Amino acid sequence: MIKIPLCGFHAIEEILKKGLVRGTLYLVQGKKKNDGLRELAKSMNIPVAIADTQELDRLAGNTQHRGAVLLLDEIPIAYKNDLGFSLQQIKSNNALILLLDSITDPHNFGAILRTADQFNVEFIVTPQRRSVHETETVMKTSAGASSYTSIITVSNLNNAIEELKKHEFWVYGADMNGPVAQSVDLKGRVALVLGSEGKGLHHLVSKSCDSLISIPAKGHVDSFNVSVAAGILMYEVRRQQGF
């Protein structure tokens, strides 16, 4: 089972207060500020263990824990759609995230989920409104991938893009008017935004992106199917990242 480390006094305090948490709280010895966390964890029946700084470094995956790590068995339900919380858990410098702007066809959504699983996408972000969500058709089309690829639903994609930028992601929108993807440096932390067929990206979403990218084509129809475009762009990102 993959454990999820949460660091930071206030973040740990908040999640403990909300309850319904399963995991273990690790604290460094002799840090007075952690006494409150220890008592709070005990009141919530969360096991508390004392560890040295090197062990906390290993558990957290970094040295920014400040003497406290809550090692979660799973993301609490209250945080399932918390984009900021999910972004805090990403340690890779070559992470890939997808944002889907008004994808309404369940077959396309399912196909994107299946490809996202193969390219080890961290998660997919979708808006609450004007978007398909997990349905029986989506699950069937994804061939089981919907069980492995997390979906985060947000109220506003533009706000989600700004949150991604705060976590050092470069955000690229798929648009026929952008430079071809091969000519753009897509290494590092990347978020791809794909719009619906026909309308493409909403204007404000397009403006929120750091840059637009396109797929070279010489066909007779206007564009690729969105699930095909998603697959091509995911491949190009991962190719440049040395996936």
Q: E strand or H helix at 192, and its extent?
A: strand 190-195
Edge-to-edge strands, sheet with 4-7: 4-7, 68-72, 23-28, 48-51
Rounded to the nearest 10°, the torsion over CA 113, 117, 122, 127 is 0
Q: Report the relative pairing of strands 68-72 and 123-127 from DSSP bridges.
A: unpaired
Residues of the chain with CATH 3.40.1280.10: 83-241
The predicted model scores a pTM of 0.68
Name 28's bridge partners: 51
Task: Read off the pLDDT of each residue in 6-20 and give the average, rounded to a whole number.
Answer: 78
Q: Report the relative pairing of strands 170-174 and 68-72 from DSSP bridges.
A: unpaired
Highest mean pLDDT among 163-167, 196-200, 225-229: 163-167
pLDDT, one tens digit per residue, over 55-80 is 888 888 777 778 888 888 776 655 56
Contact 20, 76 (CB under 8 A): yes
Asked if pLDDT for residue 81 goes beyond 60, the answer is yes
Architecture of domain 4-76: 2-Layer Sandwich (3.30)
Closest C-alpha among 123, 100, 131 to residue 201: 100
Cα separation, 230 vs 197, in Å, equals 12
User: Residue 218, SS3?
Assistant: coil
Report the residue count for the chain: 243
Residues of the chain with CATH 3.30.1330.30: 4-76
Q: Angle 97-101-107 (CA atoms, 0-180°, nearest 5)?
A: 90
Asked if pLDDT for residue 2 goes beyond 60, the answer is no
pLDDT, one tens digit per residue, over 214-239 is 998 877 666 778 889 999 999 999 99
Phi then psi for residue 52, to 5 deg, are: -85, 175
The predicted pLDDT at position 78 comes to 55
The predicted pLDDT at position 80 comes to 64
pLDDT, one tens digit per residue, over 88-114 is 878 889 999 999 998 878 888 888 888
More confident site: 29 or 216: 216
Superfamily designation of domain 83-241: SPOUT methyltransferase, trefoil knot domain (3.40.1280.10)
The predicted pLDDT at position 91 comes to 81
Model confidence band, residue 179 (pLDDT cutoffs 50, 70, 90): very high
The predicted pLDDT at position 107 comes to 82
The predicted pLDDT at position 145 comes to 54
